[in-house]
Structure 1
Amino acid sequence: MQTIESIATDYRRRAEQAEANLKQVQRQIYRISLLRVVLFVGGIATAICLRHDGWMAWGGALAVTMLPFLALVKYHNRLFQRKDYAEKEAEVNHQELAALDYDTSAFADGNEYNDPAHLYAFDLDVYGPHSLFQYLNRTCTQPGKTRLAAWLGQHLEDKAAIEKRQEAVRELCAMIDFRQQFRILGLLHKGKSADEGELLEWAASPSVFRPRPLLRLMPYVVGGTNLLCLILVATGILSGTAWGLLWMCFALLSFVFTGQVTRVQNVYGKKLQILGTYARLLQLMDRQPLQAALLHDIKEESGRASNAILRLNRLMNELDQRNNYLMYTVLNGTFFWELWQMMRIERWKEQHAASLPGWLDAIGRTDALMSLATFAYNHPDYTYPTLTDATEQSFTFRATALGHPLMRRDRCVRNDFRMEQRPEFIIITGANMAGKSTYLRTVGINFLLACLGAPVCATDMTLTPVRLLTSLRTSDSLSDNESYFFAELKRLKLIIDKLQEGERLFIILDEILKGTNSTDKQKGSLALIRQFMSLQANGIIATHDLALGTLADAFPDRIRNYRFEADITGDTLTFSYRLRPGVAQNMNACFLMQKMGIAVTE
């Protein structure tokens, strides 16, 4: 089994190898650049020296030097591609080294997906700076980023689906070369990442030119006419001047379509270029001997996508030749090339538009799975949870040495969790800063990871997947003229409604009914938990209200009390962050106020 140290050593080795390759390629680029200059200058100088010896002499000299020059240009471009790859490979491995030390600033944080009204994401810091999304995110495509965010925001509840994803993550976890190649290829795209919706919008848009039969015939008519004129000129029947005038008329007529073509190219041209990157990613995936059922499904869904997408990419690149005005004019005058090219692109769209959403989904799911696999690889001490089927009377959530994955491993205090029946609630009491809220988030984050198909920060876990719903940091809303207390009531009403509709929930609440007086709060909290029990709910609640601990007397087999204590010895306040059975005995608010110079009357 690997360790964090061995993984860091491997990333460091890969980064150093990439940097060595980069230096080697840079030296080659320098040498080839010099050789190109020598060939170019030498060819021109030789041609000048031989200019009086006839065109064959100076033309031959140019050919001898310029042909190798052109070959070196092509080789030079390949060297620059290798240089870009080596730079990105070194960067990727340095990022992973930083991530092992909990620095994930290089990765997108997904803050755009944050929604305070979400069932759990806002409470558990799923999106945003220093979030779970940022910690997991290794996506290199927009569809991948979108899928990962969607998975985090709508976790799986089906045991078979989670196990299927676990299988795929396990397989990809062991394929570090494939994962890094996939990510590097995706990151090498230098243009803007086209939004998936814009690509689908293009695929769904109607064709402009092909529906008109006359336009479909025109390239053939113009091309055939020019070919006939060439034959007539060659046989002396038609003068070259007449053909030239006709050709110019064709060239001028072709400009009628230029405006429409330009609009299409401006809107979609750059966006569609990223499809070339997607095609190479699919090709890379096709070459892998993947065994997991989910990965097989994705490969089948993508089908022959890579070849089809590469063909579209070539068509779009060819259309870019219209920026070369000389070639553009010559080709248009010869056979309405611009119109012909647009109809080839539209024909591709008609043939493959229906498949494009599936291809993008295949890329997105693969990319998102790569993130989960990298997370699994970087945490060899994490475990994949065992899943149980949900039944009317059963619910299981057992975990040993449960820790928060975003807390530094050398500071993370791990605790157990056990819940093995339905309904059942755990009530956590404790002093300020003793660890209650962190424990709730630890439970919630690992529950979410388990339902994603990822490994969890525990030595073992058994879980019945159900819907997760939290209320940890409800906030008021000035724009909606909504008080804090009313916002919390709406959240609790949402939970009750879902339970009454028959949904199975795992509920995490922190200090419920904070926005009212202590008497109302206590009365309301007791009533709420009793209602949860009657609705067969499972969950965990943290509170400062020690009276809630008395509920264990009313539901001795269904409600259990645990506590986080603050230990006060003289003037010293210490926290063990260890979960203990029972109701909290020590409170520290007055002690902390006195330490900060705030007078507290005995």
Structure 2
Amino acid sequence: MSEHSSQPESGNRAESDHVAVGSDPLNSHTTNASDATPVDPLDSCQEARDRYRGQLSSIDAELQQYSATDSKFGTVRVTLFFAMVIGIGFSTTTGHPFWIAVAIVAFLAFLVAVVKNETVRMQIEIRQNEARTLRRLCARLDRDWATLVADPIGQISDVVKLNERQRYLAGDLDLLGDSSLFQLVSMAATTPGQRTLAGWLTEPVDPAVAQDRHHAVAALADQRDARLRFYTLAREVGTSTGDPESFVQWASSPPWLPSRRWLSPWSNLTAVASVLCLIALVAATLMQDRDLTRISFFALIGIAVLNLSIASLMLGPVAQIFSVAIQSRRSVDDYAELFQSAELLPTDAPEGASSNELTARIRRTFLGDPGHGGQSAGLAMRELGSIAKAGALKHSAATFLIYLPLQAFGLWDVRVLRRLEEWKERYAKNAEDWFTSLGELESLLSLAALADEYPRWAAPQWSAGGFDSKNNSDSADDSIVRCERLGHPLLQDTMRVRNDVSIGPAGTLLLVTGSNMSGKSTMLRSVGLNVSLAMAGAPVCCSAMRLPAIEMATSIRVSDDLSQGVSFYMAELNRLAAVVEHARQLHRSAQAEAANGSSQRRESPRRLLFLLDEILQGTNSRERQIAVTRVLGMLVESGAIGAITTHDLELADEPELMRIAHTVHFRETITPDADGDERMTFDYRMRDGVSPTTNALRLLEMVGLGEESS
């Protein structure tokens, strides 16, 4: 287990809590137990940090070279442009072939310079995205929450929809939001990736699914270069108008052209007419027929004006469609490469499992299933890429001069749109599945970074216990959450203190006592965060962890709601009632499944893991003890396991709790310093038994609120 350094129990976020303590009046009286402590080998990620920084240095050097080249191309482009202008000017006034040749050569050289310059600028953009990706990877390892929050791909509030249980869990355990578990593990840049990863961190899951995820994450951890490439491409598409969410909406929308059927034949008619007029113009010029020349020329001008007017007045929505579906050839190519990354997934099943359902489905979606006639997402995106190549002509300075006559004389955008809607008709029904699978693949690759960076963090093991309906209990001792050297994953590696923690078996609970700031709340969050990591498919911040099929419920951060007339005490009661009902629902479900033949189940039924922090503080001490004992009795009777913290030492003496509780404590040490002032330190080590110390009055004195001496 991991304990904060001098952290208040009720702080908002793991890291911000610690910072707050360093700046409060207790600063001169508190100390961090790990100030001079070297990083535990279990937490060492220095190899990954050095690798990221080395890659950043290489990219910075490349960016300097590319910037210098870009500057040179800028000078060349300006020089060639002025040479072209001068050549045109002199050829117009003198008619000398030399100046005509100068103008033509300068124009062609200018186009070549533009094309090569765009290639350099594209490389600059790619390297910049790689640098942003690596800086995020480094910020995660440093627990630099300010940098992570400032990164636009870390903002998920608008895309994640949580039910009430998930919201409570996420808020109590710092699963989502600023300085959260999501910020630590997420490299997801697309909307489906962020939504999927947030769901995995807040939703319960069967052990088989979790094991499938773990198996894929372990296989992806070694694919360092491929993962970095994937993160960079995902960032490019996730921050563009071609984000998957917009793409799926376009794919499911009705086609635009059928209601404007005349546009396609008109584009064909004007293209044919323009070719005929051009032929007539050339022939008239050769025959020196001025009348035919004039008619052909003005006919071409008329077609161009008419088509450009149509494009300006009617094809505005088409440009918006292009910006989503084929923003650029590069965006579509990025998608095709992202989908092809499914090849990195393992093809074998996890140890002890008969199949790898998750990874097999992702591979089938992206790579196709020839045996079943499945459509490959990669093939579809390559087809879309050829359409994007045609649609991207106007976005490039090098090809705009080609696009302009095609649009003026043949309504090029209409032709591209027709091909695009034909593509949509073939593949639109699959688009949602593609991006659902993309979200899952992106989540697996995010978690793989954590597995690579912390190779000594453990892969959780899942119990396979069953439920005995006759005895109303587990048929085996598989209702225990056991964590060896459990740590808090959101703390910096140098601050983490570890402890062994066991919660269960059924019929018991863990009662955590201790004085203020000693680390009780942090212990609860350490358990909850690691259970969340285990269910998501990530490694856990432990040397070993074993857990049954569980769902979590918490009551740690509770607040009143004046707008609804709900007091703090009533808010706590409502939260606890929800926790108890959750436990009862799971218990009833387990009994029903056992009665109907639990031997047919692939998974053992889930039980509730509750984590309760200093509950029912809004009433007097005696009534609180009675109420807490009653609530805990209901949870234990429902087969739930869990932990509760308290600094009320009388609560630990309640006979009913003494019967079912295993009691542990955290403590502080108070010693005088050289000036005779008291200094309070915490070692954040969990010990058996009830806490022998309290510190509320001493803390009061330390901040200057003690009794005044007469």
Do they superpose with TM above 0.5? yes
Distance 1:86 1:342, change over 3 A: closer
The amino acid across from 1:549 in the alignment is A
Indicate the residue corresponding to 1:479 in structure 2.
563
Kept in 1, the 8 Å contact 2:586–2:608? The answer is no
Q: Comparing 141-150 with 403-412, which one deviates more in the overlay? A: 141-150
Aligned length: 598
Please list, as runs of the form range in 1=range in 2, the aligned pairs for 1:241-260 lying within 5 A after superposition. 254=307, 255=309, 258-260=312-314
Which residue of the other structure, out of 316, 338, 362, is the alignment partner of 1:298?
362
SS at match of 2:694: coil
Which residue of the other structure, out of 518, 522, 535, is the alignment partner of 1:434?
518
Indicate the residue corresponding to 1:526 in structure 2.
629
Task: Map Cα deviations across residues 382-436 of structure 1 (whole Å, 9 max, x no partner).
Answer: 1211122352213231111101011122222111111353243111111111111
Shift of 1:549: 2.8
Cα distance between partner residues in 2 of 1:499 and 1:145: 29
Q: Comparing 86-95 with 14-23, which one deviates more in the overlay? A: 86-95
Which residue of the other structure, out of 565, 572, 588, is the alignment partner of 2:667?
565
Whose RCO is larger (CA < 8 A, sep 6+)? Answer: 2
Cα distance between partner residues in 2 of 1:5 and 1:491: 42
Cα distance between partner residues in 2 of 1:270 and 1:281: 13
Which residue of the other structure, out of 510, 517, 524, is the alignment partner of 2:620?
517
Shift of 1:274: 7.4
Shift of 1:494: 1.4
Kept in 1, the 8 Å contact 2:185–2:450? The answer is yes
Shift of 1:473: 0.8
Shift of 1:361: 2.3
Q: What TM-score do you get using the length of structure 2 for normalisation?
A: 0.74
Task: Map Cα deviations across residues 479-523 of structure 1 (whole Å, 9 max, x no partner).
Answer: 222211222122112122222222621111111212222222111
Cα distance between partner residues in 1 of 2:124 and 2:264: 44
Kept in 2, the 8 Å contact 1:321–1:328? The answer is no
Indicate the residue corresponding to 2:592 in structure 1.
none
Kept in 2, the 8 Å contact 1:280–1:306? The answer is no
Distance 1:73 1:242, change over 3 A: closer
Kept in 1, the 8 Å contact 2:242–2:331? The answer is no
Indicate the residue corresponding to 2:690 in structure 1.
583
SS at match of 2:542: coil
Indicate the residue corresponding to 2:448 in structure 1.
373
Shift of 1:123: 0.5
SS at match of 1:467: strand
Shift of 1:192: 4.3
The amino acid across from 2:664 in the alignment is Y
SS at match of 1:30: helix
SS at match of 1:433: coil
The amino acid across from 2:667 in the alignment is E
Kept in 1, the 8 Å contact 2:700–2:706? The answer is yes
Which residue of the other structure, out of 253, 259, 264, is the alignment partner of 1:205?
253
Q: Comparing 51-60 with 100-109, which one deviates more in the overlay? A: 51-60
Shift of 1:204: 1.8
Cα distance between partner residues in 1 of 2:494 and 2:125: 37
Cα distance between partner residues in 2 of 1:469 and 1:390: 21
Indicate the residue corresponding to 1:74 in structure 2.
115
Indicate the residue corresponding to 2:584 in structure 1.
500
The amino acid across from 1:546 in the alignment is L
Indicate the residue corresponding to 1:596 in structure 2.
703
Cα distance between partner residues in 2 of 1:380 and 1:465: 25
Task: Map Cα deviations across residues 449-475 of structure 1 (whole Å, 9 max, x no partner).
Answer: 111111111111112232111110111
Which residue of the other structure, out of 193, 202, 205, is the alignment partner of 1:157?
205
Indicate the residue corresponding to 2:337 in structure 1.
283
Which residue of the other structure, out of 129, 142, 146, is the alignment partner of 1:101?
142
Distance 1:513 1:171, change over 3 A: same
SS at match of 1:578: coil
Is the aligned partner of 1:455 residue 2:558? no
Shift of 1:554: 6.5
Cα distance between partner residues in 2 of 1:530 and 1:263: 63
SS at match of 1:401: strand
Kept in 2, the 8 Å contact 1:563–1:582? The answer is yes
Indicate the residue corresponding to 1:87 in structure 2.
128
Kept in 2, the 8 Å contact 1:110–1:134? The answer is no
Which residue of the other structure, out of 542, 551, 557, is the alignment partner of 2:645?
542
Kept in 2, the 8 Å contact 1:567–1:586? The answer is no
SS at match of 2:246: helix
Shift of 1:36: 4.3
Which residue of the other structure, out of 224, 237, 253, is the alignment partner of 1:176?
224
Cα distance between partner residues in 1 of 2:84 and 2:394: 33
Cα distance between partner residues in 1 of 2:195 and 2:529: 20
The amino acid across from 2:636 in the alignment is M
Shift of 1:439: 0.7
Q: Comparing 352-361 with 446-455, which one deviates more in the overlay? A: 352-361
- Cα RMSD for the two superposed structures: 3.7
Which residue of the other structure, out of 154, 170, 185, is the alignment partner of 1:121?
170
Cα distance between partner residues in 2 of 1:89 and 1:589: 50
Which residue of the other structure, out of 458, 467, 488, is the alignment partner of 1:383?
458
Task: Map Cα deviations across residues 117-140 of structure 1 (whole Å, 9 max, x no partner).
Answer: 624100011222222222222223
Specify every segment of 5 or more residues in structure 2 that has no aligned partner in the other structure, as ranges.
1-40, 348-357, 367-376, 468-473, 588-606, 673-677
Task: Map Cα deviations across residues 27-73 of structure 1 (whole Å, 9 max, x no partner).
Answer: 33334444445555556667778889976544444444543442232
Is the aligned partner of 1:166 residue 2:214? yes
Distance 1:333 1:91, change over 3 A: closer
Shift of 1:5: 2.7
Which residue of the other structure, out of 465, 471, 484, is the alignment partner of 1:400?
484
Distance 1:147 1:276, change over 3 A: farther
Indicate the residue corresponding to 2:530 in structure 1.
446
Q: What TM-score do you get using the length of structure 1 for normalisation?
A: 0.87
Shift of 1:319: 6.9
Indicate the residue corresponding to 1:27 in structure 2.
68
Shift of 1:368: 2.4
The amino acid across from 1:576 in the alignment is D
Shift of 1:327: 7.8
Is the aligned partner of 1:334 residue 2:409? yes
